[in-house]
Amino acid sequence: MHIHTSDQPILNLGFGGYTCNWGVHIAGLYESEAERDAVLFGYLSQGDRDGDLQGYCPTERTSDDFRQAFSQYCPDCVPHLDDPNRFQLTSARDLYYPDGTFSPWAMDDGLNDFYADSQRDGPRNIRATAEMVWALEAIPGVEHLMAYESRLNYFIPGKPWISICLYNLTKFSGATIMDVLRTHPYTISGGIITENPYYQDPDQWLAENAPEFLPAARQSEH
């Protein structure tokens, strides 16, 4: 089944028989490891077959646990797990708060640099995914996570990029999940992808909830 998410080329999501278009930001909601991995492993193995540049941030499991489980699921993927030009396995600290503080502005800079570098040798499709339970820790700046999630809806559209942000429904509060829904235009739940009726355009969400992270706010700093 095809879910029309943009006017960009089509990609195979790798689970449930779904296809969508590049340039999309999705919340993956789940209640069990099995539910999470059915989506995650299908998504990553399809990306490997398609030759996409893939990034994954495990939080609920160690990198070694992931490698072992994923290698059993996709033996053909094993040679690429240590090739940074095909697959990048990154810790939450290294990705989200390398200096000990989480900042949406720093994330903007890091993502823009990563994207520019990824395209230096020619066009490249990018699949990114992360388990978000790291955000339940007492990390300075983590209260701005949803501002970052909303701002991703400026960054991702128009690029050969797909992000699936994985949220464990048994660990996050209902209030947080409502903010997740307001900042992701599409959701996966029970392995089913749907357009999210609760989604708010980043201009609207940021104006109402985090006006200091509107684009004009940063421009005024320079």
Q: What is the pLDDT of residue 222?
A: 45
The answer, as to whether pTM is greater than 0.85, is yes
> Nearest-5° angle of CA 136, CA 111, CA 212?
65
Nearest CA to 166 among 88, 72, 61, 70? 61
Helix crossing, 145-155 with 104-118: angle to 10°? 30
Each of the 222 residues of the chain gets a pLDDT tens digit; together they read 999 999 999 999 999 999 999 999 999 999 999 999 999 999 999 999 999 999 999 999 999 999 999 999 999 999 999 999 999 999 999 999 999 999 999 999 999 999 999 999 999 999 999 999 999 999 999 999 999 999 999 999 999 999 999 999 999 999 999 999 999 999 999 999 999 999 999 999 999 999 999 998 765 554
Q: What is the pLDDT of residue 200?
A: 97
Q: What is the pLDDT of residue 216?
A: 80
Q: Out of 3.40.605.10, 3.40.50.300, 2.40.128.120, 3.30.450.20, which CATH number does the structure's domain 10-219 have?
A: 3.40.50.300
Q: What secondary structure does DSSP assign to 102-150, as a single string?
A: --HHHHHHHHHHHHHHHTTTS---EEEEEEGGGGGS--TTGGGHHHHHH
Nearest CA to 72 among 43, 34, 45, 33? 45
Q: What is the pLDDT of residue 218?
A: 66
